Amino acid sequence: MRLFMAINFNTDTRSRLVALGEQLRRRSRRGNFSLAANLHLTLVFLGECDEERAETAQTALRALRFAPFAIEIERVGRFRRDGGDIWWAGVGDSAALIDVHRQLTNNLIAAGFTLEQRPYHPHITLGRQVVTDAKPWPVTPFGQTVSAIHLMRSERLDGRLSYTPLRQIEANGGEAVSSIC
């Protein structure tokens, strides 16, 4: 199973992200745009994991400690790619977010995971393979308070990408299981 750790969004933040995606879609000739249900902020991508590795990832997640913190979406940007760009909503600087990312990364590496070595640039993917003449643009900042981090499974169901929360760690150490691996 393909796994990653992420922040999921409340209804208001998700609605605003959907609106940004729709603005991008209207300005584009083509693209593969993110479904509303799939909008999330990836903290750490784990890739393919068997059940034993999934349990190890859950242990690393359970060791995470954080207080609730705010994030703000401030801009729409892109990563240039041949065949169409990846467009995203960018998250403003947040020391608490970077700390959560660092803790998770350290916990996972200590547990034996090999992770990407790229610098962390927090963003929410709005579309892939997007062809447009639009330029990146600032947005009136919006966001939410983060009070939970999720271990997520990525899979194709009926030809569509679907993300399912497997475990949730809440701020100040609370835990909830969404489903069993």
Q: Given this model, what pLDDT does residue 104 score?
A: 96
CB of 39 within 8 A of CB of 6? Answer: no
Split at pLDDT 50, 70, 90, the class of 125 is very high
pLDDT tens per residue across span 75-97: 999 999 998 999 999 999 999 99
**pLDDT at residue 175 above 80?**
no
- Rounded to the nearest 5°, which phi and psi values hold at 5? -110, 140
Identify each DSSP E strand in the chain by its residue range. 2-8, 28-33, 40-48, 69-79, 85-91, 123-132, 137-146, 148-157, 160-170, 175-177
Question: CA–CA separation, 24 vs 116, rounded Å?
Answer: 28
What domains lie within the chain, and their CATH numbers? 2-177 (3.90.1140.10)
Give the C-alpha separation, 171 to 63, whole Å.
12
Cross-strand bridge partners of residue 146: 69
